[in-house]
């Protein structure tokens, strides 16, 4: 375990990327806050420990991850402007009035602390900008389609991205009868900046170890372990249509659930309370103490909670609750050409074949799987659990919208009861299968994506590594 002096803290920051401007002198209070925090790089990830009250936790992240936060804001702003034609400031100004009043006092204090930490490191941001950034998925995928439809005076609604493959199993489905959870994330490669593992130790509530992005106070990819014995992940509900500006943002509810909930039922109650429909997900949850697992499919008007101590649940972006599927999406659950359906079929096949044998080793193999259920053969592409849209020259489905689009799986994470009980999980950065991505080579072969040249990054092959709270 490494604790940093002030000089080594500054050095750690500079190792990531130099701040935009020279940092300002730290106050004695800020120096004391940073003495509790620590960070280090590992196999493509950045691990950070923050602790204390909300303002100091925010300051710790803002100061230590300032260069990465600044770059994430730059990339997200570029993606937004290119995809919408509107300025980043337009999005902030139009969403702050309904988002900010719905963010609870603790989260606001943490965001304010982050702004303070960024300023001390020479990076300028604001509470409003960080709120928009934390709400990026729900704004870009759920709020903006409705606004765009108004601006166009009708027309088609842009499709919600179909990203992530996950399963959770327990009882007779696993090798030792305990809980096994696995997840990988899929988004457009430019926004694959979720390479932070944060050990968040609040002064009130449960300790959280989760994957996140620099500058977020929630997970976003939503892979987490808490000291209440809860583990969780999610996959988006594809082709979803619905958003309520009067509700509580998803990133706020998700953070509160992870920090405040002592059990599965309480966790789900927090997520349902004030649900705005943003980032509608199938949540896979487990309690490693009771060995119970659950799936909460949470739409806007409809939801369903299922629980078991013997079996499994899977997630691949296709809703299984009939009312969500029929009344809140336009998805076709029978079209195996589509990524979500193909991956769903593959999950069911793997669960049937390996039932009773599932452990961490199998979970890692599942998340790296390249079987195409439509073509009935191994083929890395849009329909494989480990997705590679950049290799897909025959395009089906509403997202990402073009052949060979640089999108797909950029990580893999697994946890079982043994790891969770010591607040640990294993993770791989780059892709779950280890296939590298060479951005310059890709852009040379596909010049239609030249607009990404300053935001598309290469990812080399990385090993699986284990992270632990308090390391």
Cis peptide before 400, with omega less than 30 degrees from 0?
Answer: yes
Give a yes or no: residue 159 inside a domain.
no
Cα dist from 352 to 178, 234, 309, 347, 375, whole Å? 18, 21, 17, 9, 20
Give a yes or no: residue 384 inside a domain.
yes
Which of the listed residues 124, 152, 180 is the one where a domain comes to its end?
A: 152
Structural domain containing residue 44: 6-152
CA dihedral 138, 451, 456, 378 (to 10 degrees): 80
Calpha distance 249→278 (Å, rounded): 7
Report which secondary-structure segment, H or E, holds 297: strand 292-298
- The pair of structure tokens assigned to 369 is 């799987």
Q: What are phi and psi of 121, to 5 degrees?
A: -95, 5
The sign one gets for the Cα dihedral 195, 458, 318, 301 is positive
Task: Tell whether 169 and 27 lie within a shared domain.
Answer: no
Interacting residues of 138 by C-beta distance below 8 A, sequence separation 6+: 243, 249, 250, 251, 276, 278, 279
Task: Tell whether 273 and 319 lie within a shared domain.
Answer: yes
Instruction: Give the bridge partners for 184, in sequence order.
Output: 165
Give a yes or no: residue 127 inside a domain.
yes
Task: Tell whether 289 and 315 lie within a shared domain.
Answer: yes
Looking at residue 23, what is its pLDDT?
Answer: 63
Give a yes or no: residue 207 inside a domain.
no
Coil/strand/helix, residue 271: helix
- Residue from 429, 36, 6 nearest 200 by CA: 36
Task: Tell whether 106 and 170 lie within a shared domain.
Answer: no
Calpha distance 281→428 (Å, rounded): 23
Task: Tell whether 426 and 334 lie within a shared domain.
Answer: yes
Which of the listed residues 152, 180, 202 is the one where a domain comes to its end?
A: 152
- The pair of structure tokens assigned to 24 is 């300002």
Give a yes or no: residue 356 inside a domain.
yes
CB 210 within 8 A of CB 197: yes
Spell out a b/e string for 74-85, using b for 16 or more CB atoms within 10 Å of the CB, else e. ebbbbbbeeebe
Give a yes or no: residue 178 inside a domain.
yes
Task: Tell whether 39 and 138 lie within a shared domain.
Answer: yes
Task: Tell whether 171 and 80 lie within a shared domain.
Answer: no
- Residue from 159, 166, 206 nearest 186 by CA: 166
For the chain, which ranges sit under pLDDT 70?
1-23, 156-159
Task: Tell whether 37 and 87 lie within a shared domain.
Answer: yes
Alpha carbon 46 to chain centroid distance? 15
Give a yes or no: residue 226 inside a domain.
no
Calpha distance 166→238 (Å, rounded): 14
What pTM, to 2 d.p., does this model score?
0.94
Burial class of residue 5 (count of CB atoms within 10 Å of its CB; 0-12, 13-18, 19+): exposed
Interacting residues of 249 by C-beta distance below 8 A, sequence separation 6+: 99, 102, 103, 134, 135, 138, 276, 278
| Number of folded domains that form the chain | 2
Task: Tell whether 115 and 146 lie within a shared domain.
Answer: yes
Calpha distance 430→413 (Å, rounded): 11
Looking at residue 159, what is its pLDDT?
Answer: 63
Interacting residues of 172 by C-beta distance below 8 A, sequence separation 6+: 310, 311, 355, 356
Cα dist from 157 to 12, 149, 330, 407, whole Å? 44, 6, 11, 20
For the chain, give the number of residues.
471
- The pair of structure tokens assigned to 175 is 């090798």
Q: What is the CATH number of the domain that holds 316?
A: 3.60.60.20
Coil/strand/helix, residue 46: strand
Burial class of residue 91 (count of CB atoms within 10 Å of its CB; 0-12, 13-18, 19+): buried
CB 137 within 8 A of CB 95: no
Alpha carbon 267 to chain centroid distance? 18
Calpha distance 449→443 (Å, rounded): 6
Q: What are phi and psi of 468, to 5 degrees?
A: -140, 140
Q: What is the CATH number of the domain that holds 37?
A: 1.10.439
Cα dist from 56 to 31, 37, 64, 237, whole Å? 10, 10, 12, 35
Task: Tell whether 459 and 316 lie within a shared domain.
Answer: yes
Which of the listed residues 104, 129, 152 is the one where a domain comes to its end?
A: 152
Task: Tell whether 17 and 103 lie within a shared domain.
Answer: yes
Give a yes or no: residue 160 inside a domain.
no
Task: Tell whether 277 and 423 lie within a shared domain.
Answer: yes
Report which secondary-structure segment, H or E, holds 311: strand 311-315
């Amino acid at each position: 375990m490494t604790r940093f002096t002030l000089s080594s803290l500054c050095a750690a920051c500079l190792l990531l990327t130099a701040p935009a401007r020279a940092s300002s002198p730290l106050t004695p209070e800020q120096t004391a806050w940073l003495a509790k925090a620590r960070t280090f790089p590992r196999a493509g990830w950045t691990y950070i420990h923050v602790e204390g009250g909300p303002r100091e936790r925010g300051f710790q992240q803002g100061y230590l991850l300032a260069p990465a936060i600044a770059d994430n804001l730059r990339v997200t702003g570029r993606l937004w402007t290119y995809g919408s034609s509107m300025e980043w400031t337009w999005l902030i100004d139009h969403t702050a009035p309904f988002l900010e009043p719905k963010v609870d006092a603790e989260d606001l204090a943490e965001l304010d602390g982050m702004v303070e930490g960024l300023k001390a490191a020479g990076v300028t941001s604001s509470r409003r900008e960080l709120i928009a950034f934390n709400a990026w998925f729900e704004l870009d995928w759920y709020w903006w389609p409705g606004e765009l439809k108004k601006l166009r005076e009708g027309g088609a609604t842009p499709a919600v991205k179909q990203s992530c493959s996950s399963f959770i199993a327990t009882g007779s489905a696993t090798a030792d009868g305990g809980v096994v959870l696995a997840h990988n994330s899929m988004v457009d490669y430019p926004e694959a900046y979720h390479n932070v593992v944060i050990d968040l130790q609040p002064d009130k509530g449960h300790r959280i170890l989760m994957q996140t992005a620099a500058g977020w106070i929630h997970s976003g990819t939503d892979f987490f372990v808490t000291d209440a014995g809860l583990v969780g992940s999610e996959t988006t509900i594809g082709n979803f249509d619905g958003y309520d500006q009067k509700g509580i943002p998803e990133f706020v509810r998700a953070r509160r659930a992870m920090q405040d909930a002592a059990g599965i039922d309480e966790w789900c109650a927090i997520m349902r309370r004030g649900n705005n429909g943003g980032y509608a997900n199938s949540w896979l949850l487990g309690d490693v103490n009771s060995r119970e697992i659950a799936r909460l499919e949470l739409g806007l008007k409809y939801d369903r909670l299922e629980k078991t101590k013997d079996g499994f649940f899977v997630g691949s972006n296709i809703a299984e609750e009939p009312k969500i599927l029929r009344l809140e999406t336009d998805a076709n659950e029978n079209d195996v050409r589509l990524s979500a359906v193909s991956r769903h079929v593959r999950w069911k096949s793997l669960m049937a074949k390996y039932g009773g044998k599932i452990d961490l080793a199998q979970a890692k193999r599942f998340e790296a799987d390249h079987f195409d259920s439509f073509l009935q053969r191994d083929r890395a592409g849009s329909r494989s659990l480990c997705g590679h849209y950049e290799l897909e020259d025959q395009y089906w489905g509403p997202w990402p919208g073009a052949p060979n689009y640089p999108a797909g799986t950029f990580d893999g994470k697994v946890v079982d009861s043994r790891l969770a009980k010591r607040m640990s999980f294993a993770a791989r950065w780059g892709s779950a299968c280890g296939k590298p991505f060479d951005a310059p080579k890709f852009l040379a072969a596909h010049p239609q994506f030249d607009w990404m040249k300053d935001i598309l990054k290469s990812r080399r092959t990385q090993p699986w590594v284990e992270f632990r709270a308090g390391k």
